[in-house]
Amino acid sequence: MHSHELVKQLDVIAAEQLGAHLPAHVVEQLPAHGVTVFAVSDDASDTAEFSARYGFGLEDCANTIVVRYKREGAEHYAALVSLGSRRLDINGAVKAALGAQRLSFAKREAAVEHSAMEFGGITAFGLPADWRILVDAAVMERVQIVMGAGVRAAKLLLAPDVLRQWPRCEVAALTLPVE
């Protein structure tokens, strides 16, 4: 299926309607061009269900994972964007990329509170200014990816180049293929 056919099948949310569907802080940080926002039903928000229903492979679904880490004695949060088909190398590559002494997945409540987004819908756009946003190098090899939109009822469809050109994005090799 070609990408333009796919977009026709999606319930696209018009730019002027975004404020009614997405958190304001996500809308503010979304790049003006190259991002299609579309509605999804809540029961199809999680990666596997979404993939099955909307026909995107796991290798085209980019998840945003929130981690908490300690560096130079202080606690920090970071967001990791990786494909559903790969496994984060938390104790190796991720720890090294963040220069972290200690690293753990953020608790669900903390991720929701600090991002001000819905769990299962957290996205790289709209996160607090002091968070680092690391995007796995494998994400950049895809033609297009689907990401969370801050809420479970919507997703973002974009080319990885949109992330590459976004000043907050740091690209690093963070994952291993899933065996």
Q: State the total domains in the chain.
A: 1
Q: Which residue has the higher pLDDT, 46 or 50?
A: 50
Picking from 67, 63, 89, the residue whose alpha carbon sits closest to that of residue 76 is 67
Q: Encode burial over 144-158: b for 16+ CB neighbours within 10 A, e otherwise.
A: bbbbbbbbbbbbbbb
CB atoms within 10 A of CB 138: 20
- Model pLDDT, residue 8: 57
User: What is the residue range of 169's domain?
Assistant: 3-177
Q: Is the pLDDT of residue 171 over 90?
A: yes
* pLDDT value for 1: 45
3-state class percentages of the chain: helix first, strand second, coil last, to nearest 5: 35, 30, 35
User: What pLDDT score was predicted for residue 7?
Assistant: 56
What single letter denotes the amino acid at residue 127? Answer: L
Quote the CA–CA distance of 43 and 132 in Å, as a whole number.
30
Q: What percent of the chain has pLDDT over 70?
A: 95
* Residue 109: per-residue pLDDT: 97
**Residue 49 — very low, low, confident or very high, per pLDDT cuts 50/70/90?**
confident
Is the pLDDT assigned to residue 56 strictly greater than 70?
Answer: yes
Per-residue pLDDT band at 5 (split at 50, 70, 90): low
For tokens 């920090």, name the residue.
76
CATH number of residue 20's parent domain: 3.90.960.10
Q: Is the pTM of this model over 0.85?
A: yes
pLDDT 10s digits, 142-169: 999 999 999 999 999 999 999 999 999 9
pLDDT digits (tens, 9 = 90+) for 105-142: 999 999 999 999 999 899 999 999 999 999 999 999 99
Mean pLDDT, residues 49-63: 88
- Which is nearest to 93 in space by CA: 179, 169, 176? 176
Confidence band for 10, pLDDT divided at 50, 70 and 90: confident
